């Protein structure tokens, strides 16, 4: 077995966040290792821990989480499973949302709250510095300068290395970059939903990492006889694997983070890192969206 087949995430290539943090482009999103509605403990805690450890074995060097996943559960599990962390593992987390119940995510961008979010994530993850800290949502009731200003302050204190954003427009990204350096954005984007295409194009021009959340949505495109299903069959792969491979081929700044609570599903997802699509196949799949 080749090293890349044993560590398929490594086959996805490398992107360097912020000019100094190289990660394998196919990462792991740690939202689904919590309970239903991203609330509470997972149904199978031992399996969740196995998923995290197996992801690293398979070459993942980029794990994305948030304090709101659980809340707190995902960060706690990551520390339990993986601390002390491998030298090449980047754990990104997010703050700025509160949780009042399952599937409820009200934003709160007051500077004192964001400072508390960072401090508590550092404690839960057992870190002295968070390599990538992302504002989970811009709070429209708080001036942007105040929200990003406190993260910039904590960056100066050595508690944050790089700053990212989530669910923003091109204009919001550029307004933010006037306040602090932004190395990544995380927006909804997949084969069937591409409203953030202009943002992706902008990030590619600026060499800003683009982290597509919900990357596996295929919907009706995966039905038998369609282009996606036929392409998957040619590669002896599943439609979901082709959807991930397409993301990797779509842009060199793309950092997909498929998530799961099952080891078998994790292994299937990460196998997408080894799939090579021709330019024609990539264009065919692009035309489906």
pTM, full prediction: 0.96
Q: How many domains does the chain have?
A: 1
Q: What is the per-residue pLDDT for 1?
A: 47
Note the pLDDT of residue 34: 98
CATH number at 222 reads 3.20.20.100
Q: How many CB atoms lie within 10 A of CB 79?
A: 18
pLDDT digits (tens, 9 = 90+) for 260-281: 999 999 999 999 999 999 999 9
Q: What is residue 3's predicted lDDT score, i.e. its pLDDT?
A: 67
- Looking at residue 227, its pLDDT comes to 86
Longest dimension (CA), the chain: 56
Q: Where in the sequence is the domain holding 136, given as residue range(s)? A: 3-286
Distances (CA, A) of 195 to 8, 157, 225, 241, 243: 29, 36, 26, 22, 17
Which residues touch 53 (CB under 8 Å, ≥6 apart)? 81, 82
> Which one is catalytic: 69, 85, 113, 133?
69
Report pLDDT for 286. 93
Give the chain's residues under pLDDT 50. Answer: 1
Q: Is 69 marked active-site?
A: yes
pLDDT at res. 164: 99
Q: CA-based angle 245:95:136, to the nearest 5?
A: 50
Could you tell me how many residues make up the chain? Answer: 289
């Amino acid at each position: 077995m080749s090293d890349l087949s044993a560590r398929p995430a490594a086959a996805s290539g490398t992107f360097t966040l912020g000019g100094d943090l190289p990660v394998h482009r196919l990462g792991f999103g740690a939202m689904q290792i919590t309970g239903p509605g991203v609330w509470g403990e997972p149904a199978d805690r031992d399996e969740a821990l196995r998923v995290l450890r197996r992801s690293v074995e398979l070459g993942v060097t980029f794990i994305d989480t948030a304090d709101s996943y659980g809340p707190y559960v995902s960060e706690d599990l990551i520390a339990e499973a993986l601390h002390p962390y491998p030298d090449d593992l980047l754990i990104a987390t997010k703050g700025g949302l509160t949780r009042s119940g399952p599937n409820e995510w009200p934003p709160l961008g007051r500077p004192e709250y964001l400072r508390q979010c960072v401090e508590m994530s550092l404690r839960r993850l057992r870190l002295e510095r968070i390599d990538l800290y992302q504002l989970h949502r811009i709070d429209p009731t708080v001036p942007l300068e105040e929200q990003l200003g406190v993260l910039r302050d904590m960056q100066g204190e050595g508690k944050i290395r790089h700053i990212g954003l989530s669910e923003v427009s091109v204009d919001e990204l550029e307004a933010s970059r006037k306040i602090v350096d932004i190395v990544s954005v995380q927006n909804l984007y997949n084969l069937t939903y591409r409203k953030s295409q202009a943002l992706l194009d902008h990030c590619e021009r600026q060499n800003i990492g683009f982290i597509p959340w919900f990357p596996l949505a295929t919907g009706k495109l995966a039905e038998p006889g369609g282009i996606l299903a036929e392409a998957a069959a040619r590669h002896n792969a599943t439609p979901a694997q082709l959807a991930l491979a397409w993301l990797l081929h779509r842009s060199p700044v793309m950092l997909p983070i498929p998530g799961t609570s099952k080891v078998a599903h994790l292994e299937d997802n990460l196998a997408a890192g080894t799939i090579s699509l021709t330019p024609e196949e990539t264009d065919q799949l692009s035309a489906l969206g």
